[in-house]
Structures are given as structure tokens and as C-alpha cells.
Structure 1
Amino acid sequence: MRVAVLRCERLPSFVDWEIPDVEALFDDDRRLLEAFAERGVDAEPVAWSRPDVDWAAYDVALLRSTWDYVDHLGEFLDVTGGIARSRCMLLNPVGAVHWNADKHYLDDLDRIGVPIVPLVRGTAAEASRLLTAVSEAGWHELVLKPAIGVGGSGVVRTDAAGLADALGAMAPATEVMVQPFADAIVGEGELSFAFLGGAPSHALRKRPAAGDFRAHGIYGGTVERVDPDPADVAAVATMLDRLPFDVLYARFDVVRFGGRLAVLELELIEPMLYLGLAPGSAGRLADATIARLGTA
């Protein structure tokens, strides 16, 4: 069995500041490669964008730290589609990957009964309509997000006046979505539930740095493993069961909103799984990958 653990060639372009220990960002990959080696599996890191890769030489291409795909989305979709058409198994499956690459998936989650933080979407040219929708919804503190992005890139916390200014500064065709700011992010924190092989693996609490609202570690946020309430685990497991795809791994980023857990982001492509905070989780992901190939 030969596995390509897919990663990026460089960090995405929105990371324009110095990160002291870049390799620490790839800790999940390192742990996963070690877990495969312990199981006698030949696994190696491969940049997804390398033009000379013979995907048919691998049994599995496992998407992991492919964070720069947002800078080359069309190429990424082409490459993952090509892998799926080869004898190599793409994990997560290509349908889930292409669906999850655009935040329109949140509309689909809402339609299939998965609670989400409410949103309105449109282009910067539709600023008037977006501002009217926000006013009618009674939202005061807002979050503006690009339709395609990772790691909190391009996300802005604002109010109605700031929203108008932000939209006015964008190219008219830029697609965005606007959501109410969830106060629980700076209180209870954002909760992340990792599922491996269809089963709950571990849960994390992410909190933003002082003065920020983005819980991602690259902005100074903190991450800790937590023992979640069983009712919360069951609620998020129900969300997973509703997905229209059979995924190998998933990370649900949720926040308590309106008295229940609601999805902020569903990560099926390149989420950090924080395997180092959950002993045994790298092995569970390796085992689930091996099992998936065995049932193909």
C-alpha cells in the first residue's frame, strides 16, 4: 500500500507575516506519516500542485495540509478531479471536496437540517440588499466572510456602517456572506469536533487572542482539548450523519447560538485535526484510511 499525504508547496498568500516555526504547522502530517510507518504502510508527503506526480503510482491520496488551494482553486479542483479519475483513491472523496471548497455548502447544510449560524450572501455590488437584509434580521455586530477561503482569510468583524465601507472597497463581483457575530466565541469559545472513520475522535475548544475574534492559532488564538458534553457529541454526530457524502474525516467548527450548537464551518478538505492533542488519533486516522482502501 502506497499513500500520498497531500500538502501545500507554500503557505497561502494571505499569510503575509512571519511565522516563527512554520514546520510546527505541519505537526499533523508528521504524526500521520509516523502512524502509517508503524503499520508498515509506505506513506510520503506530496505537494498537490506538483505537475510531475503519477497519481496512479499511489493507492491513496490523502488530503491534508493543502492550504494554498485557495490561491489556485481551479487548478486544485482539476488536480483532485484527475486523482479521482485515476486508480488512486482520493480521500476525502472528490464530491465532498468540490462541494466543501465553496461556502455555498452552508446553504445545503441548512436545507438538510443541520443548524448553521444564519447568513445572507451576495456580491459586493449588492451592498444595498445585504444591508437591508442585515437590518431586517436585527443583527448589529457582524462578520463578513469571502465565499471561498481558509484560515480566517479575509474575514472582518464589523457593524452596519463598517459593512457598507468594506463592501464599497471590494471589487463588485466579489462574493461574500454576512453573519451575526456569535458572542459565545469570546465566552465559551468555538468548539471543534473531529470525526475519523465516521466516529467521534476528539473535541477542541478554540479561543481568540485578546482583542481579536478569530480563533485560529495563526492569529494567536489558543486551542485546548476538552471532554465535551455527551449531548453535544451526539448533536454533532447527527450533523455528520446528515451529510450527503461518506467522508473519512471531518471537523465541525461550531458555536452555541440561539441555545444550540450551530455550524460556523465544516472542514472536509484540509483541516488541522490537532492530532498531537489527542493521543492515538493519528493511528485512528491511519487505520481508517487502510480500512477504506480495503473496502473499495
Structure 2
Amino acid sequence: MTKRIALATSAELAELHPDDRPLLEALRAEGLDPVVEVWTDPSVDWSAYDAVLLRTVWDYFVRYDEFTEWLAQLDKAEVPLLNSTDQVRWNSDKQYLLELRERGVAIVPSQVAAGACLREVVAGLNGQQIVVKPTVSGNALHTVRGAAGSPELEQALAELPDLVYLVQPFIPEIQSEGEWSLLFFDGEFSHAVVKRPANGDYRVQESYGGQTALTQPPAAVLESARAALEASGPTPVYARVDGVVVNDRFLLMEIELIEPYLFFPQSPAAIQKLAKAVATRL
């Protein structure tokens, strides 16, 4: 029998992101029956599907409690999630970076600070250019940059909600050289892009004016990204490894195992690669 697979998305992208829509035909070509479902829709019977593929659930971090409850619902119904619910839970909080550091992965230097500790951690970096971001977040939400100890940054910190944060040094190479994203399907490297922020900005997302270019990664960058992915645990169906090269060394910024944009327009063949990886797991 044809296996049915739900492609989970957000209500804001109820028909998927336009760049993801060709994935539906690619999954059909692999003998699957894909259906787009909004993950927050209470009328969906997830047990009617053989698996759920996470795609544009780009609101999970602002509905985090609801999202974790949904993961538990899938577990209870014994519906496989791609990537797995264990991987998604682990990946949903950026504190996983500290775990990877303990496993020998070179990461952008990071400290975790919650509540009143945030001011204490920032005070210890007085004068340094830093970035502060929530450990559960996306699209640069509640992310601030500035000189530690400056009135401007103090004001920005005062306006942040009471969350747990990562405190990191600002990496100027993101502006000068760009940020790498390397895509893997079933552990196999597919393609890579370099993302560069708009002039004067530090955020590489397109919503902030960032630009992206398909680029072949140097061997050392690919090797480092692959090693970081292997350190993260079982081989995921899909993964995006983000990082920046500093002094010829690839520093991991994030491993995206939940809802990463996969840069299909830059590499259309990747659509078939993901479809095949999904079909192989089912």
C-alpha cells in the first residue's frame, strides 16, 4: 500500500513555502502520498499517517510549549517524525551547542545565561562586541548585538523577555566573509551556500536583506561540518550545518534538524535527494 506522509507546516504557510512545493511531486515519484497539514490544527488525525515530515513549522519557537505537547502526541500515537522527536527535542534548545563542544566540536564561544545572570555574564565581557540570543528562537527573534557595558546594549537587554540566552562574541567574519550553510540528506552532503548580511547589518536572513549564493565548500569546511553532524547523534534524514570560518577554522553556529530552509532554488536536485531520503526511512 502507498504510504501516506504528512508535511507539517505553520498556519502562516498553510500551503508550504513556495520553494518547498516541488517536494510534493518528488515524494509522489518515490511512491509516497504526501499531504500538507498545519501542525496546530486540532482537527488533524496524525495517526492516519505513516510518518510526519517537518517542513515550514516556522512558528514552533513562539509556541514552544504547544510544540513539545504536539511531539508527545505523535509519540503516543506511534507516528514517526522526520527528524525523530528525540532529535527535535534536543535540537530545539541551542544549549545543545555546549554538549557538542564537550564532544570536541569547535563552536562559536558561547555562555548560557538566564534571568539576572544575563547582566552578570554581560558585565564580565565589558567593552567587547557581543550577540545575545534566546536558546529557543528563530529568525533572529529577541537577538541583540552591541558593546557590553554600553548604554545602548543595556537598554536593549532591559527590553528582552525573561528567557534563557546564549551570549556570544560578535564574529566580524560573518560580515566580511559570510556564514556557511551546508546541507546533508541521510548523512550525505548535498550542497552549500554562503549567506551574507546587508551592508551594516549582521543578520544573514533574507528578511533582513541578506543574500545567498551557492558555493562549493573547501574540503576543511566540509570535513568540519560533517564531523559536527556526526557528533550530534544518529544520522538525521535532513540537516543544515551553519558556521563561520575564523582563522581558517570552521566554528559551528547551529545544526538545524527541525525546520531549516534548505535552499532548494540554489540546488533543485536537492529536492529529489530529500524525497529519496524520506522514502528510504519509510
TM range (shorter): over 0.9
Equivalences, count: 278
The one of 154, 173, 182 equivalent to 1:193 is: 182
Equivalent residues of 2:183, 2:191 under 8 A apart: yes
* Residue 255 in structure 1 maps to residue 257 in structure 2: no
Choose 198-207 or 38-47, whichever is displaced more: 38-47
Match of 1:17 in 2: none
Equivalent residues of 1:192, 1:206 under 8 A apart: yes
The one of 143, 148, 151 equivalent to 2:136 is: 148
Amino acid at match of 2:230: D
Match of 1:288 in 2: 277
Match of 1:8 in 2: 10
In structure 1, C-alpha distance between the alignment counterparts of 2:44 and 2:270, rounded to whole Å: 29
Match of 2:199 in 1: 210
Change (3 A) 1:170 1:152: closer
* Residue 77 in structure 1 maps to residue 65 in structure 2: no
The one of 249, 267, 272 equivalent to 2:261 is: 272
Match of 1:224 in 2: 213
Shift of 1:258: 4.5
* Residue 157 in structure 1 maps to residue 145 in structure 2: yes
Instruction: For residue 215 of structure 1, give the secondary structure of its aligned residue in structure 2.
Output: coil
Shift of 1:228: 1.2
In structure 2, C-alpha distance between the alignment counterparts of 1:176 and 1:9, rounded to whole Å: 27
Deviating runs (4+, > 3 A) in structure 1?
none
Amino acid at match of 2:130: L
Amino acid at match of 1:53: V
In structure 2, C-alpha distance between the alignment counterparts of 1:141 and 1:126, rounded to whole Å: 18
Instruction: For residue 246 of structure 1, give the secondary structure of its aligned residue in structure 2.
Output: coil
Equivalent residues of 2:74, 2:81 under 8 A apart: yes
Unpaired segments of 5 or more residues in structure 2? none
Equivalent residues of 1:144, 1:163 under 8 A apart: no
Deviations 1:100-155 (A, max 9, x none): 111111111111111110012212422442124324xxx72111111211111111
Unpaired segments of 5 or more residues in structure 1? 12-21
Instruction: For residue 233 of structure 2, give the secondary structure of its aligned residue in structure 1.
Output: coil
Instruction: For residue 65 of structure 1, give the secondary structure of its aligned residue in structure 2.
Output: coil
In structure 2, C-alpha distance between the alignment counterparts of 1:131 and 1:57, rounded to whole Å: 49
* Residue 89 in structure 1 maps to residue 77 in structure 2: no
Deviations 1:238-266 (A, max 9, x none): 11111123311110110013431111121
Amino acid at match of 1:56: S
Amino acid at match of 2:155: D
Percent same amino acid among aligned pairs? 37
